[in-house]
Copies of this chain bind each other. A is one copy, B any other.
Amino acid sequence: MRSNPDNMKTEKVSELTTNRLSIYLRCLNELAVFKVKTVSSQAMADQFNLNSAQIRKDLAYFGEFGVRGVGYYVEDLRQHLMKILGLTEKRRVAIVGLGNLGTALANYQGFSHNSFEIVALFDVDPEKAGKKTRAGLEIQDTRNVGEIIRRESIEIVIIAVPATAAEKVLEEVTDAGVRAVLNFAPVHLNPRPGVKVKNVDLTISLESLSYFLANPSDEAVNVHYREFLRQDTSSNGAGGD
């Protein structure tokens, strides 16, 4: 039993769990909009085809947030999850690589309500340097990435450069103190200990879909849609500090 209802755990939490926490939070956000006061683990489980015990376990690990016979107070749990996921203050984000994807991400509204703020953009192409995105943010030369990351206290870097350039970018931003990276380049990166890399690899996603098209009889018949996002669970240079 955690017994430290607000102040965190001592063991390790799997990335499958953190992904689910994010899903629970999304669910609670929706319920909050409709002014729903409480919700049971079963109700949430139904919505996402998860198992209710899993939800309870995931949550119970961080504290006793529920009330027996009642369920979870939506607003209360929402606050707890925000805290656990480190979303109570804005995280400053930079994008490296302003090609199609990088540009789309720079203009994308959909980042979690207001927990993430894109504050810097980088590209090697001198043609692009100086240009501004729709939001009015200026593209800077990748050469200065380290310096600016420090100056701007950037915590998360999104890598959207070609595969061949990704490793070098990772090194540079890691040198500048960044410990969290979202990598869109279709390449395996080897982060140093203490640095977390999450990968979004469109080729893998598409090829995996292609496999299922090529093997329609595959996949057990009654596994149902049960499972949800096992998104990534990426490379991670682990390590306590």
Contact = CB atoms under 8 A, between A and B. Distances in A.
A118 B236 CA distance: 33
A186 B231 contact: no
Contacts of A198: 205, 208-209
Interface stretch (A51-59, A65-73, A103-111): A103-111
Work out how many copies of this chain go into the complex.
2
Contact of A230 (B108, B200, B232, B239): B232
Interface residue tally on A, bucketed by range: 35 or more
Interface in A187-233: 188, 190-191, 194, 196, 198-225, 227-233
Nearest to A81: B207
A156 B206 contact: yes
Contacts of A12: 218-220, 223
Contact of A232 (B190, B215, B229, B236): B229
Contact of A180 (B18, B93, B209): B209
A8 interface: yes
Contact of A112 (B19, B84, B100, B207): B207
A51 B86 CA distance: 33
B196 A209 contact: yes
A160 B49 CA distance: 22
A191 to B, nearest CB: 7
A213 B213 CA distance: 38
B236 A227 contact: yes
Given A18-B211, A111-B206, A213-B91, A230 B227 contact: no
Contacts of A219: 12-13, 196, 236, 238-239
Interface stretch (A20-28, A33-41, A138-146, A166-174): A20-28
The 9 closest A-B pairs by CB, nearest first: A86-B214, A230-B233, A104-B104, A180-B209, A100-B104, A22-B207, A86-B210, A22-B204, A12-B220
